[in-house]
Structure 1
Amino acid sequence: QQMVRSDLAAAGVLFTIDTETGFPDVVLINASYGLGENVVQGTVNPDEYYVFKPTLKQGFRPILHKISGSKEFKLIYDIGGSKMVKNVPVSLQDRSRFAISDEEILTLARWGCLIEDHYTAKKGRSCPMDIEWAKDGQTGDLFIVQARPETVQSRKDPDMLETYRLTQRGRVLIQGRSVGEKIGQGPVRVIKHVENLQDFREGDVLVTDKTDPDWEPIMKKASAIVTNRGGRTCHAAIVSRELGLPAIVGTERATEVLKDEQMVTISCAEGDTGFIYEGKLPFEVERVPLKNLGRPKTQVMMNVANPEEAFSLSFIPNDGIGLAREEFIINTFIKIHPLALLEYEHLEDASVKTKIDHLTPAYTDKTQYFVDKLAQGVGMIAAAFYPKDVIVRMSDFKSNEYANLIGGRDYEPTEENPMIGFRGASRYYDPRYREGFALECQAMKKVREDMGLTNVKLMIPFCRTVEEGKRVLEEMAKHGLKRGEKGLEVYVMCEIPSNVILAEEFAEIFDGFSIGSNDLTQLVLGVDRDSEIVAHVFDERNPAVKIFIAHVIKAAKAKGRKIGICGQAPSDYPEFAQFLVEQGIDSISLNPDAVLKTTMKILEMEKALSV
């Protein structure tokens, strides 16, 4: 039998389902250098990759997500030594690289799909798989070394939606990779050595470097588990899932930061990142049966900003995404002003360069970092809701918000009122930001054409005039995003009185409208929505605002254009939702926590109105 020399290359684990949410349409791959035992045992924090199965099978290259793990050690054969194997340090240069190439990621994902399809056909039902793989360092070949059915997420009840939600947040002590979607609480018990296991008590939060199979009896007593090392396919993660416990792995320093008897809250309910909060924080658990929930004629969509929550949110009954915000992705995952990346070689501030270098070690072309990260963030959201529409709003930071990005202050004006200043469409064709917008366009093109996520529609915010809309569309076309080509639809936010008054003209150049009720109310009533002094005047239910909304819905319908709303008012005020339904709006897009209750209200309204 041939020995696969992964000690000279890399190895890891892949699942053909998302291990935390049960989202079925992705392959999750963990990879690290050396023998795969380190990934399984949680000795290292491995790389993590997601690949989208439906468009992979269509021939696209849908790598949705790539996170480089720290990969501190690799397990190799102890040739000439006293042991069979040994762990040796990995160089800083290799640690900053991904363990395998994009082509190898895609190959493993394709093989995962083939194996899953084989066992699904054999069993006559969906059969997600848990697979171990290895790469031979002598030949460069990839091998599948083990495959077995996944046993946790595939057994969940699809007709019951269970949601954990913190009702108050506190001080974050440390964070890592979340396992599961639950919240746990209890006193910390740091276990550094196996001989201290007898100190562990029922209900403690187990905090350790990593876990081994012989730790399982005390893991069953834990209220939550936290480890320094390991990825989401390590022993601690797998056992936690089987036990239904929240766990956070790969924190790196939990055993140093957390102290015995310290009361903490472990939250895995906020996406891929798990947070350990100080104290016992209040939280709620909502369980909603989905089996008999009807669908209203009015589409109920969602507003989503965080890609890490997308897979989980996809299980809420919905008609797609009415507003996917770029700002959260740029602020949280990219963190750098696009122009600072474009002009990296000419930056004079050494501290800015250092921060950029810290975030982009794998990139010689710094602009590609922006394109990849934005594409991956949008790709995660678009994949979660595929093939339903996902309307992505191009960046709508105000100049003061852009200035807060790394390197941003050198590129942004100081404005007295950024809310109605250099924002939205006005930036996209202006020489001061045009090249930054080009990177946004490249990212969206990558999502649609490389990943195959053609359910993405693009939306232009704060477009003041029809002429400005035309200039933005011309700018997009320069970068391969031509409205009408390859099915691309471009919407416009309806949030300025001119969008309403000239709705017919805007309808000539855009495919649809999304009413931004916050800005529209602000500009119709002349109220600064950031001012607490006049906050009592701000009300979307004001007759003047409702006249504008009724007018634009009628105008859009007359022109055969889709029209929706992506403000909070329909979920806050049932009478406002009823007004929208009466006007015949196509879709209402809501924050996720309001979707179910508002859906039920809309069903009642449509029944009463005989819609």
Structure 2
Amino acid sequence: MSTYVRWFSEIGIEDVPEVGGKNASLGEMYRNLTQEGVRVPNGFAVTATAYRHYLQANRLEEKLHGYLDGLDYDNVEALQKAGEACRKAIIESEIPDDLKEEIVANYAKLKEEYGENLSLAVRSSATAEDSPEASFAGQNDTYLNIQGDEALLDAYKRCLASNFTDRSLHYKHDNHFDWAKVYLSVVVMKMVRSDKGASGVMFSLDTETGFKDVVFINAAWGLGENVVQGTIDPDSFYVHKPTYEKGFRAVLKRRLGSKELKMVFTDTLNTDNIAVEYTKNIETTPEERSRFCISDDDVMVLADYAIKVERHYSEKAGYHKPMDMEWAKDGEDGHLYMVQARPETVESQKKGDILEIYHLKERGRVLVTGRAVGTKIGQGKVRYIPDVKHLDQFQPGEVLVADTTTPDWEPVMKTAAAIVTNKGGRTCHAAIVSRELGIPAVVGAEGATKILETGQDVTVSCAEGESGFVYEGILPFEIEKVDLSGLPKPKTEIMMNLGNPDQAFSLASLPVDGIGLARMEFIINEYIKAHPMALRHPEKVDDATREQLETLSRAYDDMVDFFVKTLSEGVATIAAAVYPNPCVVRMSDFKTNEYATLTGGKFFEPEEDNPMIGFRGAARYSHPAYEEGFALECAAMKRAREVIGMENIILMIPFCRRVEEGKKVVETMAKYGLKKGEKGLKIYVMCEIPNNVIQIDAFSEIFDGFSIGSNDLTQLTLGVDRDSEIVAFDYDERDPGVLKMIELAVEGCQRNHRHSGICGQAPSDYPEVAEFLVKLGIDSMSLNPDSVLRTIRDVVKLEEKLGRK
């Protein structure tokens, strides 16, 4: 048996003290998950015993103590000097002969498995690494595409020396690790040729919100360092775990990243024929930027890996253990490999049921936008730091603005009020560290270093969904803290209105009974940006518009595929936030003037004097001018329910004027694959026109439920245009006539055993309307997210007063 080397098949997670977190986890996966179909490249660990042997044989301990004992870690210059001296001492020492022989002999064995042309990944694995308390993300060095005995031995020495980089020393100090007791083991494993393929990171939860029902994957061309360090904007994907486990195989949500660079290998050698530069970045081609770097099938394989890894580690720990993983796709054999797994170190460490919600009380001028990290708000004066040499200029409490960050920046990052970077996705270095420190960050904010000026007051908001905003000035905000453990559940169902998929996961922890109104319009407006008929018939628009449509849909099979996938994934993301509770999705309710503003819309929409009561809602769906557009909506909803697996989606028809129109819409939906009652499909109707109330018995024969739209019902009952400022004083949902209409609607639902709900603005704005609805015995109220918690408390008190429990 080897003294200094242990193969992956011989080690597991319990061997961290001897082989470090990275090796232990690779061994754990290799031993336990390869038989379940998770691919892990084979390799071996050069142990912590070997590290201690190296130090002792070269009498290095005394030298290292001399450099580091009494060091002021906050003195950047002193830290740099001490770290450099430590690394030089290690690299200039010799590997003991017995250790050298074992490393070379085991490399030869690995070549027997993979062939003489095998190249290696040589990676540091610190013995305190990847504990739940600290990620050690990017603290120690990795060397890739290593071939030959001398190159391997050189890379081994460099890994040992990286235990004493400035960033690694400071990180150990900050996390109360004794540097003399953090030993360096080294991973020697088959190199996955992702330089010719793709790579990235993934998490078994959503990193920003802690939402546990998804796998979150980031991907880029080439080696994974660009994703980790945040030098590029990667592709991202979500997969919904509960529906995956039920057998559905579809991406829940995707975003095309620009992937500006690709890291590949270089052959820069020194006079001893040993690589001095291992990698280089090259620009990606326009074609590579315009398409996703992995296929949907690849995403499903990765999701399978992530679920199996999380399940294994959770079973071993005896509690739910979200995981942070690295993967690589080999461009030579086409296979996907797991190359690292460690416990997720931020969201999984949060304890208790205290929900903190940050609310920006007013908004200012938006200076830059990017990807939000976390859900907090930070503010202060901007400090632009161009490179590591200028770090000493940074003052605690400032907003750090940089092109990108590396582990060397961590000593100042922890003192920042917020962080903004030009580059990076939500799993880049700046994002990982900000998350760990609980500091809001906006990454991938293109042009931030040119637009934001040192000394300028800004507010950095990550409290508005996946997009992060940097506002001009110091804006007021508040933090709402709610103890969910003591929140009682009312008998009346409290649901939530939500149209923005980017906010879905951050609101998933609210104690609601589902989504009462998910509007399609936001997704069409913000993500698709094009008129459905223009995408269906690009030949009917002019050349300039057709070019815009082609640009929007370039990452998809065709324009129809773009519409169907984008709409289905947007809606499914909202439904996933409350799964398996119901999610009521309203089919499109744009008015003609709103549709006309979409790309290509002017070629298909008539001009109307009063669009508010014109060609909108149900009237459009079977009309020759829009039926093909409605068919695309139906295809998207069928995909969301039957391919992605969101069977909790209930569809709702807006602005249905007449009973005959209702019948025609239900027939049209069946024609396009959405048959009421089939696969549990329910179809509701908006109750927002007086005729819906007057003929509620007849409408009840067609639809499964009603959702009162108090906005339009008020408008049409009182004869007030709600868009007109001059008569705004006459628009009041609390008018006795409006309340009588609502009362008749609820009674009609009860009489016909149909679901009754309300999704208009009234109960969100007026507690007295919510009280009125509870007294009527309405089944559900759907509210804006910011009024959910207040209304739950009010409804519980009222129900107790009425003797309902």
Same fold (TM over 0.5): yes
Q: Is 1:517 matched with 2:517? A: no
Given the alignment, which residue of 319, 331, 336 partners 2:525?
Answer: 331
What one-letter code is carried by the residue in structure 2 that aligns with 1:290? L
Q: Is 1:193 matched with 2:381? A: no
Instruction: Name the structure 2 match of 1:71.
Output: 259
What one-letter code is carried by the residue in structure 1 that aligns with 2:450? E
* Equivalent position SS for 2:485: coil
Instruction: Name the structure 1 match of 2:592.
Output: 399
CA shift digits 1:40-78 (9 cap, x unpaired):
111211111111000011110231111111111111110
Q: Is 1:274 matched with 2:459? A: no
Instruction: Name the structure 2 match of 1:301.
Output: 495
Query: Given that residues 391 and 412 in structure 2 are in contact (C-alpha distance below 8 angstroms), is that contact kept between their aligned partners in structure 1?
Result: yes
Q: Is 1:312 matched with 2:506? A: yes
Task: Give how far 1:358 is off.
Answer: 2.6
Given the alignment, which residue of 468, 478, 481 partners 2:671?
Answer: 478
Q: Is 1:563 matched with 2:756? A: yes
Task: Give how far 1:193 is off.
Answer: 1.5
* Equivalent position SS for 2:277: coil
Where relative contact order (Cα < 8 A, 6+ residues apart) is larger, the structure is 1
Worse overlay, 162-171 or 534-543: 534-543
Q: Is 1:129 matched with 2:317? A: no
Instruction: Name the structure 2 match of 1:459.
Output: 652
Given the alignment, which residue of 240, 244, 247 partners 1:56?
Answer: 244
Instruction: Name the structure 2 match of 1:41.
Output: 229
Query: Given that residues 494 and 512 in structure 2 are in contact (C-alpha distance below 8 angstroms), is that contact kept between their aligned partners in structure 1?
Result: yes
Instruction: Name the structure 2 match of 1:430.
Output: 623
CA shift digits 1:295-315 (9 cap, x unpaired):
110000000011000111111
User: Aligned runs of 1:229-244 on 2, under 5 Å?
Assistant: 229-244=423-438
Given the alignment, which residue of 137, 144, 151 partners 2:338?
Answer: 144
Task: Give how far 1:550 is off.
Answer: 1.1
Task: Give how far 1:94 is off.
Answer: 0.7
* Equivalent position SS for 2:252: strand
* Equivalent position SS for 1:83: strand
Task: Give how far 1:388 is off.
Answer: 0.4
* Equivalent position SS for 1:78: strand
Q: Is 1:352 matched with 2:540? A: no
User: What is the alpha-carbon distance in structure 1 between the residues aligned to residue 698 and residue 291 of structure 2?
Assistant: 50
Q: Is 1:468 matched with 2:656? A: no
User: What is the alpha-carbon distance in structure 2 between the residues aligned to residue 141 and residue 274 of structure 1?
Assistant: 35
Query: Given that residues 441 and 479 in structure 1 are in contact (C-alpha distance below 8 angstroms), is that contact kept between their aligned partners in structure 2?
Result: yes
In structure 1, stretches of 5+ residues that fail to align are none
Instruction: Name the structure 1 match of 2:284.
Output: 90
Task: Give how far 1:230 is off.
Answer: 1.2
User: What is the alpha-carbon distance in structure 2 between the residues aligned to residue 118 and residue 414 of structure 1?
Assistant: 60
Q: Is 1:30 matched with 2:224? A: no
CA shift digits 1:276-306 (9 cap, x unpaired):
1111111111111111111110000000011
**Alignment TM-score, normalising by the size of structure 2:** 0.75
User: What is the alpha-carbon distance in structure 1 between the residues aligned to residue 424 and residue 609 of structure 2?
Assistant: 48
Q: Is 1:11 matched with 2:205? A: no
Query: Given that residues 296 and 599 in structure 1 are in contact (C-alpha distance below 8 angstroms), is that contact kept between their aligned partners in structure 2?
Result: yes
Given the alignment, which residue of 130, 139, 163 partners 2:357?
Answer: 163
Given the alignment, which residue of 724, 734, 743 partners 1:531?
Answer: 724
User: What is the alpha-carbon distance in structure 2 between the residues aligned to residue 356 and residue 267 of structure 1?
Assistant: 32
Q: Is 1:112 matched with 2:306? A: yes
User: What is the alpha-carbon distance in structure 2 between the residues aligned to residue 519 and residue 506 of structure 1?
Assistant: 18
Task: Give how far 1:165 is off.
Answer: 1.1
User: What is the alpha-carbon distance in structure 1 between the residues aligned to residue 735 and residue 460 of structure 2?
Assistant: 43
CA shift digits 1:112-135 (9 cap, x unpaired):
000000011111110000000001
Moved over 4 A (4+): none
Worse overlay, 493-502 or 277-286: 277-286
* Equivalent position SS for 1:242: helix
In structure 2, stretches of 5+ residues that fail to align are 1-188, 270-275
CA shift digits 1:322-375 (9 cap, x unpaired):
000001111111111111111113422x33123223322213511211111111
Task: Give how far 1:582 is off.
Answer: 1.2
Task: Give how far 1:531 is off.
Answer: 1.6
User: What is the alpha-carbon distance in structure 1 between the residues aligned to residue 569 and residue 764 of structure 2?
Assistant: 30
Instruction: Name the structure 2 match of 1:590.
Output: 783
Q: Is 1:252 matched with 2:446? A: yes
Instruction: Name the structure 2 match of 1:212.
Output: 406
Given the alignment, which residue of 581, 604, 611 partners 1:411?
Answer: 604
What one-letter code is carried by the residue in structure 2 that aligns with 1:455? N
User: What is the alpha-carbon distance in structure 2 between the residues aligned to residue 437 and residue 138 of structure 1?
Assistant: 44
User: What is the alpha-carbon distance in structure 1 between the residues aligned to residue 504 and residue 737 of structure 2?
Assistant: 36
What one-letter code is carried by the residue in structure 1 that aligns with 2:489? R
* Equivalent position SS for 1:170: coil
What one-letter code is carried by the residue in structure 1 that aligns with 2:624? P
Given the alignment, which residue of 475, 484, 489 partners 1:290?
Answer: 484
CA shift digits 1:497-553 (9 cap, x unpaired):
110011011000100000001111111111111122221221122111111111111
* Equivalent position SS for 1:509: coil
Task: Give how far 1:266 is off.
Answer: 0.6
Query: Given that residues 224 and 328 in structure 2 are in contact (C-alpha distance below 8 angstroms), is that contact kept between their aligned partners in structure 1?
Result: yes
User: What is the alpha-carbon distance in structure 1 between the residues aligned to residue 387 and residue 341 of structure 2?
Assistant: 32
User: What is the alpha-carbon distance in structure 1 between the residues aligned to residue 637 and residue 253 of structure 2?
Assistant: 15
* Equivalent position SS for 2:419: strand
Q: Is 1:175 matched with 2:337? A: no
* Equivalent position SS for 2:205: coil
Task: Give how far 1:462 is off.
Answer: 0.2
Worse overlay, 68-77 or 438-447: 68-77
What one-letter code is carried by the residue in structure 1 that aligns with 2:417? S
Task: Give how far 1:173 is off.
Answer: 1.1
User: What is the alpha-carbon distance in structure 2 between the residues aligned to residue 341 and residue 79 of structure 1?
Assistant: 47
Instruction: Name the structure 2 match of 1:366.
Output: 559
Instruction: Name the structure 2 match of 1:498.
Output: 691
What one-letter code is carried by the residue in structure 2 that aligns with 1:257? I
Query: Given that residues 420 and 443 in structure 2 are in contact (C-alpha distance below 8 angstroms), is that contact kept between their aligned partners in structure 1?
Result: yes
What one-letter code is carried by the residue in structure 2 that aligns with 1:305? G
Worse overlay, 490-499 or 577-586: 577-586
Alpha carbons of 1:346 and 1:422: their partners in 2 closer, same or farther (altered >3 Å)? closer
* Equivalent position SS for 1:19: coil
- For the aligned residues, what is the CA RMSD? 1.1
Task: Give how far 1:404 is off.
Answer: 0.8
Give me the identity figure in percent.
60
Query: Given that residues 55 and 62 in structure 1 are in contact (C-alpha distance below 8 angstroms), is that contact kept between their aligned partners in structure 2?
Result: no
**Alignment TM-score, normalising by the size of structure 1:** 0.98
Query: Given that residues 236 and 256 in structure 2 are in contact (C-alpha distance below 8 angstroms), is that contact kept between their aligned partners in structure 1?
Result: yes
